[in-house]
Every structure is written in structure tokens, then in C-alpha cells.
Amino acid sequence: MRMLDLITKKRDGFELTKAEIEFIVHGYTQGQIPDYQMSSFLMATYFNGMTDQESTDLAIAMMHSGDTFNLEDISGIKVDKHSTGGVGDKVTLVLGPLVAACGAKFAKMSGRGLGHTGGTLDKLEAIPGYNIVLDEDAFKAQVNRIGISVIGQSKNITPADKKMYALRDVTATVPSIPLIASSIMSKKLASGADAICLDVKVGNGAFMTDLEEAKKLAVLMVQIGKLAGKRVKAILTNMDEPLGFAVGNTLEVIEAIETLKGNGPKDLENVVLEIGAYLLEDAGIASKEKAIELLKSKLHNGQALEKLIELVEAQGGDSNYIKNPSLFTKSTQVIPLKANKSGYIESMTTIDIGLAAAYLGAGRETVDGVIDPAVGIIFHKKIGDYVQEGDVILDIHANQKGVKDALSTLEKAIHIGTQKKEVVLIEGVIL
């Protein structure tokens, strides 16, 4: 088998076999296939696409390029979720404890934030003492014991994907739906869960800005999961404004705690309930309708919050911060952004809101960047709300970094007009 022949085959629009895809992934990961040939193959794939079976074979080959988690030792059906990334997306912090309180086994490996999107690990590490590093045995034992664990990804998870993504990034082949889907699903399959719900964000604050393209991605990821023997569903959720009111690590943890008390923002709660219902259904715990009733009861009777406390304590964190969020370190400055005229908030440039938070120190530009957990943004008004000139739209929580850049960015990101508009939160479901 020669890489040149496989490049030619893909260039001419033919379907590659499982063995051929395995040859490409293994050869490139081991350094036997040079960058220039892999670049040519990626560009041929960008233009000619892949069948669902090819995308599945690629995801599985990348999965097997490194460590995989075998969760068979965990009793019951293991559930997981994945978000394609957004602003204010603290769903895992609410969803995980909630579905675990309902009897599901929530076994999740998460990532860090980069650019304008926050990472679940950064938010969890805002809780003093929380340890994101557990070996596989400890991870499985904890899920068996309390029903939940959320840890960082192994450094050797899908090394082929890491290497291929770095090359895609410099060869203009990132926006290929088969390559995006295979990349995401390789990591989800390596994590070992039986049932997965994908939260595909779409809008001006998401990586997928076009609804039809987001649907194509969601459909393909669901199909890859099913062909790989998993129970997979996807929901498409709107990211034309931040999810919830808080953007920033500690601020989002506090909002998640309030949501687990039954006092959270309705958009956040609704996304959590939708994903949670599908996971409970796939775990065999309840039908979707009954699952929503069960989730709501656990959200309002304190049991979901107790499960977050259990999670934090099990992973070395100080649960006093969950019981009393006023203990969290606060920013030194709170700077209001006021409406410069009266009218309705018609739209937001959500990606710029995420970037403004990053300027303050809530995000990072590089993987090694340092996060300031205390900083961020709290919204008081969102799309569809009426504001009088001088009303506070949001508060910037800042220390010393990036205040001027954040303020000027946010001023341009909020658009006030004469029309009252609504955001459709859930744009679609792929079953």
C-alpha cells in the first residue's frame, strides 16, 4: 500500500477502505508519511468529502492511535455529553450532577478553553483543590461509587487527531465537516461512554455560524456514533447570545450552583433538561417525558446540588465553596456598561463577548496561558429586553488586565434598536 495511490484515489472521488484509512492514520502518527503527503490527502478530502463509513473508520482509527478508556467495570450504561464550544457554556457543571442524581453514570473527560470559549476544566479548577487528574482505575471507581467523575483528557488520547489538526490548521482544511466530525467523535469514542448527547452550538458565538452546516455536522457525528455502536443524539443550540447570564470561570460556577438550587437562568436550565432527558432515556432510566419530570424534581429538591458537593469532595475540592459561594475570590473592580440609548437589545456579537472576557483574563490565547478565575461578565439584559438610556446592560468583573479593550469591545458587541426579537434556543434535534 502506498500513500501516493491513496491520495490519487481520494483526489478522484473514490471511497477508501477501512484498511486504507488505518494505513494513513497509523503511518502519519508514526512519522512514516510526511506532512506534504498528508496535506495533499487532507485537501483532497476537503474538496471531495467522505462517506459516513469513511468518516467512522477515520474516527475509529484516530481513537486507536492512543489511549482508550474501557468502562466495562462501571455498572450500568455510561453517559456523556459534548459541546462544540460557546460563550457562557457551563452545561456540564449542572448536567453532570443532575443526571447522576437521577441514577445515571456520568463519566466525562473534558478539555480546557482556548480563544473565546470557556473550558469545563478551567471552571472546575476555579473551585479550590479540585483535582482534574485521576488514573483510569480511580476514575471508574468514583463513577461506580457516586455516579459521576469529570476529569481532564489523557495526554495520549487521540495523538493522530492532535497531529492532523495541527496540519489542518496551517493548510486551510479545518472547515471540512467529515474531518471536524471525525476529530470530535474520535475523542468521544476514546472516552468509552455508551450513550452520548452532542450539543452543537450554532450562531455568531460558535465555531459553526450557519444552521444548515451545523445540521450536517450533527447528522454526521450522530451517524459516526451509531456506526461505532454507541447511542448518540444531538441537539443544535443557539449561540447568538451567551448561555445564561455569567461569562467567566468563577462567575459561571456560581451560576451553575444557583441553577442546581432551582434558581438558574431559564435558557441554561432548558438546555440542561433537554440533554439530560435524552441521556436518561438512553440510559434506560425513563422515557423522555418522565425524564424531564425526574430532572426537574432533582433540580428543585436539593439532590442535584448534593451530587455536585459529592463530586467536588471526591476529587479533592473544598465543598465549602459550593455550600457558600460568597467564599470565592472576587474581582477588585466591577464596571457597569450602560445603554447609550433607549430601545430593545436586538442582537449581540457573541464571539466578541467571549473575546472581551478573554481580554480580562478569563480565557487564554495559548494552551499554556494563565487564567484569572475571578474575572468575567455578568449580564442583566439580553436579546429582547427593553432598556432605557442609562440602564446597566452588564457588569464587567475585572482586576488589572484588559479593562479598556474589554469595555470597547463590549460597547460594539451590544446592538440596541426598535424591534423586540426573540432567540430560538433549540434549533433542532438529531436522533
- Name the residues annotated as catalytic: 82, 161, 168, 183, 187
Strand-pair partners of 394: 337, 379
- Give the total residue count for the chain: 431
Distance CA 6, CA 18 (A): 12
Sign of the Cα torsion 30, 33, 35, 40 reads negative
Place of cell 480580562: 360
Q: Are 80 and 196 in contact, with CB atoms under 8 Å apart?
A: yes
Q: Which cell is 249 given?
A: 470561570
Q: What is the DSSP string of 144-164?
A: HHHSEEEEEPPTTS-HHHHHH
Tell which residue, 122, 198, 185, has the closest CA to residue 158. 185
Q: Which residues of 298-333 are buried (b: 16+ CB within 10 A; e: fewer)?
A: bbeeebbbbbbbbbbebbebebebbeeeeebeebee
Q: How large is the C-alpha radius of gyration of the chain?
A: 22
Q: Distance between CA 150 and CA 63 in Å, rounded?
A: 20
Pairing of strands 343-348, 386-387: antiparallel
Instruction: Tell me the angle at which helices 303-314 and 91-101 cross, rounded to the nearest 10 degrees.
Output: 110
| Residue whose cell numbers read 457573541 | 350
